Amino acid sequence: RHLPYFCRGEVVKGFGRGSKELGIPTANFSEQVVESFPSDISTGIYYGWACVGNGDVHKMVLSIGWNPFYKNIKKSVETHIIHTFKEDFYGEILSIVITGYIRPEKNFDSLAALISAIQEDIEEAKRQLDLPEHLKLKEDNFFHQPE
C-alpha cells in the first residue's frame, strides 16, 4: 500500500550485531529517518533499489524491525546492498526505493538458519527486481538528483 516508498538519509553506526561478520552488512538509517517512515508500514523483509551518494544504483534487501537499542519501541531500518563495496560508507547519504515485500520478521533457531534465510531473501529480491514493474524504478529520477 505504501510501495513504492522513496527514502533518503545518512548512514549511521548500527548496534554492531555483527552483520558484516556474517557477510551481510546492513547500512542503518538514523533514528530521524526511521521516525519519518509511515507508522503502519509492517515490519519484515523488503527489496528495492539503493544508491550511495552519487554512485550506481544497486539491488538491495531491507529489513524493517524493532530496535533492541530502544527496548523494541522504536523501529530500525537496515539496507543490505547487493554489491561489494571497496570501503565502508558511514556518514554518506543513502537513497532507496522500496518496491516489494518478501516476508515478516522471524526468529531463527540457529545462525545457520538465519544466514540461509537471508541468502534466500537475496535470491528472491534479485529475481523480483528483474521484473519490469520493479526494474523501471531503477531509472527513477529520484536517483539522479543533485546533492
Kindly give, in sequence order, each residue whose CB lies less than 8 Å from that of residue 93, ignoring residues fewer than 6 positions away: 8, 9, 10, 11, 52, 53, 147
Range 102-141, binding ligand ADP (CB under 6 A): none
Nearest residue (beta carbon) to Mg ion? 14
> For this structure, is 87 an active site residue?
no
Nearest CA to 44 out of 64, 66, 23, 19 is that of 64
> What are the cell numbers at 67?
530496535
Query: Which one, 28 or 99, has the nearer CB to ligand ADP?
Result: 28
Stretch that binds Mg ion, among 15-23, 79-87, 104-112, 121-129 (CB under 5 A): 15-23
Q: Which option in Mg ion, ligand ADP, none does residue 86 bind, with CB closer than 5 to 8 A by kind?
A: none
**Which of 10, 78, 105, 123 is an active site residue?**
78
Q: Does 85 bind ligand ADP (CB under 6 A)?
A: yes
Whole-number Cα distances in Å, 111 to 21, 80, 83, 117, 119: 12, 17, 22, 10, 12
How many degrees, rounded to 5, is the angle at CA 100 between CA 113 and CA 3? 140
What is the contact surface with Mg ion in residues (CB under 5 A)? 14, 19, 26, 28, 78
What is the contact surface with ligand ADP in residues (CB under 6 A)? 11, 13-17, 19-20, 25-28, 80-81, 83, 85, 88-90
